[in-house]
Structure 1
């Protein structure tokens, strides 16, 4: 046991560097992807057919294509058309696209959960459709959608582990390198799992708390 602990202490700095990259990719993907999800959720209900279909196509491609395929397409596929992305840029782009696609459905459900009577009241007051969305529907809809959005954020953090397939030096990549050098895969992967759990378990408890307090619309 002492030997394992000493190994963990030795490996931790290398894993920490990869962990920070994983957190960076997850944060950037969410910062870009959730606003995209809001835009696509609203655009998917637009009256203009071209806008509506464009949003639907982007959402379905993001949901229908596994993250691993999106990563491979952006990193290995785009260079054949003359556009080359770094492993970090491709990782953020792929995960942001997937985030936007899935969160658009979460946000759309939240927007639709706002009482119809409030929309009707806003029309009675003379508010435009845009003002109704901005002032009434979006704030309340996002409040309803917040717990599942936070839950999805944990999935994106875990999905960053797929980025090792395009040479991003994130947490799993660092763990794999150490395992290849030491052949102590069980030990290094146990430490890696604990590092993920360090964020995921408290965040899951926070999501459960928010679901009880914010998940229902009064």
Structure 2
């Protein structure tokens, strides 16, 4: 069979893998972004000990490769008596990486909120908690949206790391098909196109979001 004629036979397995990759990415973002927001708020704490602790956690999270974090959760935790499935380990590891990186994105968004609005809230008698909840966080999230979308693309691509813990995501399925057909080039090209079919439109969405945000700020 020629290069393209194999693709219809490869599609079912690869689509199943793509579904797993999408679930891992979505769960990682749903857990990691709120975690990043908590870290971002904590990094601005008035208590120096809390602030230094949060910054230390973020720097360690940003400095440790996602693959190493994944290996720790999957292979390292069983030594302490806790065993995670490949799906759980992948989600937890990527969520931890997401929290560390998005904390800086979100902290930048929170700091970009005009100081005058924070001062006005204080003048109106709003507590610091209410100011964060109703003024700073909503506007900071809006400012951070383009960068968060861009990071979500990277996390989707990073789901390919789950191949190392035997999770049947897209890359793992591609290797499995390749090992049984010995047609690695064809199946890997198709897998790459499937990644691109998700990431390229998402990149366009990021660009549009940045332009729309620039008009309103």
Considering the TM-score relative to the shorter chain, is it more than 0.5?
yes
Q: Quick one: distance in 2 between partners of 1:77 and 1:185?
A: 31
Distance 2:63 2:215 in 1: 29
Q: Secondary structure at the match of 1:169?
A: coil
- Tell me the equivalent position of 1:149: 148
* Larger mean Cα displacement after TM superposition, 115-124 or 175-184: 175-184
Whole-angstrom distance in 2 between the partners of 1:216 and 1:45: 28
Which one is further off, 180-189 or 140-149? 180-189
- The match for 2:44 is 45
How well do the aligned residues superpose, as a CA RMSD in angstroms? Answer: 1.3
Gaps of at least 5 residues in structure 1 are none
Q: Work out the CA distance in 2 between the residues paired with 1:12 and 1:109.
A: 41
Aligned residue number for residue 114 of structure 1: 113
Moved more, 48-57 or 190-199: 48-57
Deviation at 1:57, TM superposition (A): 2.6
Alignment TM-score, normalising by the size of structure 1: 0.96
Q: Normalising by the residue count of structure 2, what TM-score does the alignment of the two structures yield?
A: 0.96
Q: Deviations over 1:171-208 (max 9, x none)?
A: 00000111112221111111001101111111111100
Q: How many correspondences in the alignment? A: 217
Structure 1 equivalent of residue 88 of structure 2? 89
**Structure 1 match to 2:179:** 180
The answer for the alignment partner of 1:211 in structure 2 is 210
Q: Is the 8 A contact 1:28 1:92 kept in 2?
A: yes
Q: State how far apart, in whole Å, the 2-side matches of 1:94 and 1:216 are.
A: 36
Partner of 2:189: 190
Gaps of 5+ in 2: none
Q: Is residue 4–residue 186 contact of structure 2 (8 Å, CA) maintained in 1?
A: no
Tell me the residue number matched to 1:201.
200
2:165 aligns to what? 166
Alignment of 1:120-139 (within 5 A): 120-139=119-138
